[in-house]
Amino acid sequence: MSTRVTLFGIPNCDTVKKARNWLTEHGIDYQFHDFKKQGVPAERLPHWMAAVGWEKLLNRQGTSWRKLDEATKAGAIDESSAAAVMREHASTIKRPVVEWADGQVTVGFKPEDWQDRAR
């Protein structure tokens, strides 16, 4: 297991920018994985879904989701079908996904939820 924090996301996403700034301001060393350049790490997706649930990981509120055709959206009914959508359309993954040094996985960014990490 890595002792380093890895933040997964898209660089121009405002929430990802806020999260990256927060980590830097709190002196937390992290590695950034860019979904646009590096893709969705297929081996990590099942781990994230197990940690937070596919329903939380699949961002159904975002612009990327709304742009999908109705058949694709209607087909995301379980872990397997949702994983296929997220692999094909990385922007449908709620961001950022963070793998913390202690092995925990979180999705999204709320500074108040991350405060304990700043120790």
Q: Note the pLDDT of residue 28.
A: 93
The CATH number covering residue 82 comes to: 3.40.30.10
pTM of the predicted model as reported, rounded to 2 decimal places: 0.91
Active site residue 65: no
Cα(2)–Cα(22) distance, rounded to whole angstroms?
A: 21
Catalytic residue, from 7, 9, 10, 13: name it.
Answer: 13
Q: What is the pLDDT of residues 76-117, one digit of tens each?
A: 999 999 999 999 999 999 999 999 999 999 999 999 999 888
Q: Structurally, how many domains does the chain consist of?
A: 1
Q: Are strands 97-99 and 30-34 parallel, antiparallel or unpaired?
A: unpaired
Q: What is the pLDDT of residues 39-87, one digit of tens each?
A: 999 899 999 999 999 999 999 999 999 999 999 999 999 999 999 999 9
- Expressed as residue numbers, the domain containing 107 is 5-118
Cα Rg for the chain, rounded, in angstroms? 14
Confirm if 33 and 7 have CB atoms less than 8 A apart.
yes
Q: Would you place residue 1 in the very low, low, confident or very high pLDDT band (cuts 50, 70, 90)?
A: very low
